[in-house]
Amino acid sequence: MYSFRNDYSEGAHPSVLKALIDTNLEQTPGYGTDRYCEEARALIREKIAVPDADVHFLVGGTQVNLVACAAFLRPFEAVIAPESGHPLIHETGALEATGHRVLSAPSRDGKLRPEAVAALCRAHSSEHMVRPRMLYLSDSSELGTAYTKEELSALHNTCKEYQLYSYLDGARLGCGMVSSTAPLSWTDLGETLDAFTIGGTKNGLLFGEALVITNDALKADFRSHMKQRGALLAKGRLLGVQFRAILENDLYLENARHANALAQHLQAGIEALGYSMLLPSPTNQIFPIFPNDLLERLCSLYEYEVQQPMDEQSTCIRLVTSWATPPEAVEQFLDDLARLRAI
């Protein structure tokens, strides 16, 4: 049974795995102080054109979100996230466990808008209230959408106005960057964000998220924060080796292009069969709405997540492609769908 459940169902891209194999018995110092990490850091700084950016490698997405929150904020300061943001839904209260409130901003498409941010800032005006201090953005978002450069710039301006930091969770950054409707360059990220992650787990690494900090105010002592939260990997070079492998030859964006192309093909094919989407997605997660009786048959052929019931007869599901998805799987899905639909 093929799984479109997620983009972390497989291991690593062969090139990444090869890099791990090639360096396996080499001795290096621990905790990210090795030369592979340094080289991966240099590649990132060069790509984003921020020579003094700090770059840290962490293992997972919730982990990097919580360490950033703990490090960047003072106790009474709060995060603003869109209502579908990962910290508000799927991190078991990880940010609150560091002592901080996450404020929910209304959003239909997974993206934060300047007006929603401004409204929350204006509503939190007294010392009896938490103080909004950091935006949580994700690109691509939990709903598959992506920020344009103009949207990020507008949020950047809102941040300046209200003294906020902008933090972007790039667990699916590649798919956002190469999306057709909201393409971003590496330098766009450095120009509009105070900190962001480059997600590896969902784009070809065994595991790993690179945190890039461009705002000097957020840099101090970050490794101490990582260690305190259990986020300083002993064999840190594993992260450096993997990120070097995926960044040095643009494999990172190639993988994302592959994932996006397949998802877009899938989305178009499903629509051509007469089904609608929860919202149009330009990236590797798509959200088709199917009749429940069709899903009863489909679920014996494919794995996927249920996104939400739409009404008594239909349900929105999530289908995800990745660097590892074979084109044949997508074709087969469309064939099966056409067949099942005809029953």
Q: What is the footprint of a second copy within residues 194-233 (CB under 8 A)?
A: 201-202, 206-207, 221, 223-225, 227-233
Taking the complex as a whole, the smallest distance from the CB of residue 247 to a second copy amounts, in Å, to 20
Q: Report the alpha-carbon distance of residue 69 to residue 176 in Å, rounded.
A: 23
Residue 12 found at the interface with a second copy (CB under 8 A) = yes
Q: What is the footprint of a second copy within residues 115-174 (CB under 8 A)?
A: 126-131
Residue 174 has phi, psi (to 5 degrees) of: -55, -50
H helix intervals, 127-166: 149-162
Taking the complex as a whole, the smallest distance from the CB of residue 67 to a second copy amounts, in Å, to 8
Q: Give me 141's structure tokens.
A: 């978002």
Nearer to a second copy, 14 or 327 (CB): 14
Q: Report the alpha-carbon distance of residue 160 to residue 157 in Å, rounded.
A: 5
Q: Report the alpha-carbon distance of residue 190 to residue 212 in Å, rounded.
A: 9
Of 244, 264, 151, which Cα lies nearest the Cα of 168?
A: 151
Cβ-contact 295, 317 below 8 angstroms: yes
Q: What is the footprint of a second copy within residues 55-74 (CB under 8 A)?
A: 59-67, 70-71, 74
Taking the complex as a whole, the smallest distance from the CB of residue 59 to a second copy amounts, in Å, to 5
Site size with a second copy, rule: CB under 8 A: 76
Residue 100 found at the interface with a second copy (CB under 8 A) = yes
Which of 50, 152, 238, 320: binder of a second copy (CB under 8 A)? 238
Cβ-contact 58, 64 below 8 angstroms: yes
Residue 327 found at the interface with a second copy (CB under 8 A) = no
Residue 300 found at the interface with a second copy (CB under 8 A) = no
Nearer to a second copy, 62 or 192 (CB): 62
